[in-house]
Structure formats: C-alpha cells, structure tokens
C-alpha cells in the first residue's frame, strides 16, 4: 500500500484493550489515560453487529482506506496519505454502547493532528448514520 507497509506487531486487542499510544504525538486512543493521546470513544445505542456494519460503511467512505482485519467486535484499517504514501493504522473495538478507537502513524514523530482529525471525522459521519 504505502512506504511503510509492514504493520506494527502491537496491533489488536489484548486483555480487552487496544494498545496505548507511544510517547510521540502521532497517536490517539480512547483507552489511553494520557490527556495528550486521549480521545472520546464513539457512542452508539445499537447492537454490536449493527454498530460494526455502520462503522464499516463509514471507514470505507474515507479516502485511501483499506480494511485489513474484521471480526464481530474489532476492525483494523490502514489509511494511506496522498502525498508521501505514509500508512496510519486505525483500530476500532466495539463494546456495549461505545466503540473504542486508536489511530496511530507508523513512522515519524508528529502527525500535525491528522489522527485526531480523522477520528473526529469518523465520529461525525458515524453519528449521522445512527437513527
């Protein structure tokens, strides 16, 4: 897909949690306790299956997004930047009434807020599809 096409080994759900963000400011995670990396999860009042179906629609509408892994409660997508073709990993963990999120750049130190903006865009689009 992009220049840094090897996914990191720390992706996925471990003990019911997504991986915390590294010290660098190029990651956000709804389960991270560090205020610099913390972001609110996506609320929903649907079944996990319905929430996942809506979430998948929203992710597939994003530019240069590819779903890599999908289960009943977990979704991993790669987002490739247009200019330098850098890859970011975006993960979602669907639970009762919330979807935890993690969006992280594979390389570099700063992402200029791209990961936070991406999740907020997904949040707005997801909320718009909920009845």
Domains of the chain, residue spans: 24-129
* Helix axes of 48-61 and 114-129: crossing angle, nearest 10 degrees: 120
pLDDT band at 5 (very low <50, low <70, confident <90, very high): low
pTM, full prediction: 0.92
Residue (of 24, 15, 17, 29) closest to 89 by Cα position: 29
Q: Give the Cβ contact number of residue 116 at 10 Å.
A: 17
pLDDT tops 90 at residue 35: yes
pLDDT tops 80 at residue 84: no
CATH number for the 24-129 domain, one of 3.30.310.80, 3.40.50.1820, 3.90.1150.10, 3.40.718.10? Answer: 3.30.310.80
pLDDT at 107: 80
């Amino acid at each position: 897909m992009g220049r840094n096409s090897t996914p990191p080994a720390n992706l996925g759900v471990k003990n019911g949690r997504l991986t915390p963000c590294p010290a660098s400011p190029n990651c956000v995670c709804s389960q991270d306790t560090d205020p610099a990396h913390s972001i609110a999860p996506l609320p929903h009042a649907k079944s996990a299956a319905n929430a996942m179906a809506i979430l998948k629609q929203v992710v597939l509408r994003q530019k240069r997004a590819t779903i890599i892994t999908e289960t009943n409660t977990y979704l991993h997508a790669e987002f490739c930047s247009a200019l330098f073709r850098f890859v970011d990993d975006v993960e979602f963990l669907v639970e009762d009434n919330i979807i935890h999120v993690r969006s992280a750049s594979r390389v570099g130190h700063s992402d200029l807020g791209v990961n936070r903006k991406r999740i907020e865009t997904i949040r707005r689009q997801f909320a718009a599809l909920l009845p």
